[in-house]
């Protein structure tokens, strides 16, 4: 009777591992068919039978009763060992599944033929289970959090198909849909505000506050590196070119790059009223190509034929006046230079200046009226107009469509009065402090800024205030100008 019980127990125990081994190939087949497998894979029958195999001591009959009862429970309450066994079936490769099957088959004939005691049969079963575990234990840990794994694994994984990945993915897009109307409304409002309010205006400063090219004694000891460092420190984005700047475009750009500065313009002295045009053109092309190489879009020219701005002559009494022939040579020559600038995608602007033949409002009118609007623009300089005694706002309003570049320069009226009465030269007036930065003189810049912005001016505003750096610290005055422009101009 004892032998018969042993044989029955043996046969039933052998059947449990056999079914477990057969489940592995099914998992292998189910992996490629990701669409059809999810519902069948959710059943934990294999895991329960594996559990009964491990706990053979409790008896075959008890294991069978547990196998019937366990499926009623949800997967969430499964014990860690059951989950590991389930994971072992899912995660084992094709090779491990075959080996596990072979181990079970090899164990079956031995126990049947020899009819060894039940204890040995139990040990054999335990050994087969333990032999299968090492191959899958390392991979089984992530399977405990089955829901997290399903969400993170790639679409090609067979586990996704078995745990209902499609349903999880189908729910995610719904969250984005709820926020869509608000985002669409915000996007619709943003472009309108940006276009209507923000003009494309950039701020630069000229190096003449640090070193004066016409008066080398002013700031002669200040190096180029200090100049551009303090420009950047004061909050400016651009600079014009001074005599101390490197003449090699590559070297200049390399020096400006760490300071986040760009070149916006450089003064060009034309002699169209006194020199052959060919000479002026050759000099202009060289100047144009240099500016183009450093990234500038503006060329600021001023006629120096008959100019007294660098001479020891009374700025008002000795001012030159052009003849009709000189006016013709000037305007025709500027049109030609404007075409050369356009070849490089650049704009020629004319800089009206104290001590030259284009200083007054009437002279500016004549120049603008006799040049091509598409080829010649106006460089509007507040300080030179006020120093000359002109209505700077009238000039601004009249030629607003021709203005391509702006110099912001303030003036000290008391010093100007002395220059007129005592017949000072232009350079002596500069050394005496006739000019200063915006916000430090008599000019109200708020209406100037408003007119420019209302006209949708696009380009550079350049602080250009030549002073003696020994009297007016360049960095201090640069910061003062920057703060004032922000306050009065909103830029």
Where are the CATH 3.20.20.150 domain residues in the chain? Answer: 200-489
Per-residue confidence (pLDDT) for residue 89, from 0 to 100: 33
Q: Are 122 and 56 in contact (CB under 8 A)?
A: yes
Residue-level pLDDT, tens digit, the chain, 491 residues: 444 443 343 333 334 333 333 333 333 333 334 343 334 434 434 333 334 333 434 443 443 444 344 444 443 433 434 334 344 334 434 344 334 343 334 334 443 334 344 444 444 434 443 444 444 343 434 333 434 433 444 444 444 444 443 444 444 444 444 445 554 454 445 444 444 445 599 999 999 999 999 999 999 999 999 999 999 999 999 999 999 999 999 999 999 999 999 999 999 999 999 999 999 999 999 999 999 999 999 999 999 999 999 999 999 999 999 999 999 999 999 999 999 999 999 999 999 999 999 999 999 999 999 999 999 999 999 999 999 999 999 999 999 999 999 999 999 999 999 999 999 999 999 999 999 999 999 999 999 999 999 999 999 999 999 999 999 999 999 999 999 999 999 99
- Tokens in use for 456? 């949708």
Instruction: Please enumerate in sequence order all residues whose Cβ is within 8 A of that of 121, keeping only pairs 6 or more positions apart, or say none.
Output: 6, 9, 10, 13, 56, 111
Q: CATH assignment of 200-489, given 3.20.20.150, 2.40.50.100, 1.10.10.10, 3.90.1150.10?
A: 3.20.20.150
Per-residue confidence (pLDDT) for residue 399, from 0 to 100: 98
């Amino acid at each position: 009777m004892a032998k018969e019980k042993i044989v029955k127990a043996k046969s039933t125990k052998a059947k449990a591992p056999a079914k477990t081994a057969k489940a592995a190939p099914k998992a292998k087949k189910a992996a490629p068919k990701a669409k059809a497998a999810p519902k069948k894979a959710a059943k934990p029958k294999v895991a329960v039978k594996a559990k009964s195999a491990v706990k053979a001591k409790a008896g075959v009959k008890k294991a069978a009763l547990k196998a019937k009862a366990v499926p009623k429970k949800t997967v969430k309450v499964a014990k860690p060992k059951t989950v590991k066994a389930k994971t072992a079936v899912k995660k084992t490769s094709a090779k491990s599944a075959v080996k596990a099957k072979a181990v079970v088959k090899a164990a079956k004939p031995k126990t049947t033929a020899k009819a060894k005691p039940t204890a040995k049969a139990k040990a054999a079963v335990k050994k087969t289970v333990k032999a299968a575990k090492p191959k899958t234990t390392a991979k089984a840990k992530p399977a405990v959090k089955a829901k997290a794994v399903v969400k993170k694994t790639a679409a090609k994984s067979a586990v996704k198909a078995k745990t209902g990945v499609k349903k999880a993915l189908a729910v995610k897009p719904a969250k984005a849909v709820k926020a869509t109307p608000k985002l669409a409304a915000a996007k619709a409002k943003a472009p309108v505000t940006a276009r209507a309010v923000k003009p494309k205006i950039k701020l630069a400063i000229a190096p003449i506050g640090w070193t004066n090219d016409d008066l080398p004694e002013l700031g002669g000891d200040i190096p180029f590196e200090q100049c551009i460092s303090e420009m950047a420190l004061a909050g400016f984005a651009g600079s014009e070119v001074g005599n101390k700047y490197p003449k090699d475009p590559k070297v200049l750009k390399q020096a400006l790059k760490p300071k986040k500065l760009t070149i916006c313009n450089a003064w060009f002295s034309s002699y169209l009223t006194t020199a052959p045009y060919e000479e002026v053109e050759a000099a202009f092309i060289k100047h144009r190509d240099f500016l183009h190489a450093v990234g500038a879009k503006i060329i600021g020219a001023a006629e120096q034929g008959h100019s007294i701005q660098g001479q020891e002559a009374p700025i008002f009494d000795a001012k030159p006046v052009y003849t009709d022939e000189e006016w013709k040579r000037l305007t025709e020559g500027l049109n030609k230079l404007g075409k050369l600038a356009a070849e490089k995608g650049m704009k020629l602007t004319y800089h009206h200046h104290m001590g030259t033949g284009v200083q007054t409002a009437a002279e500016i009118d004549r120049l603008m009226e006799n040049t091509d609007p598409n080829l010649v623009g106006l460089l509007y300089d507040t300080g030179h107009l006020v120093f000359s005694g002109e209505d700077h706002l009238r000039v601004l309003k009249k030629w607003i469509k021709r203005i391509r570049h702006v110099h912001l320069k303030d003036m000290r009226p008391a010093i100007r009065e002395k220059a007129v009465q005592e017949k000072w030269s232009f350079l002596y007036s500069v050394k005496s402090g006739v000019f200063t930065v915006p916000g430090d003189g008599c000019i109200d810049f708020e209406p100037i800024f408003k007119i420019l912005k209302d006209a949708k001016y696009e380009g550079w505003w350049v602080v250009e205030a030549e002073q003696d750096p020994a009297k007016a610290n360049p960095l201090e005055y640069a910061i003062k100008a920057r703060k004032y422009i922000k306050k009065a101009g909103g830029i």
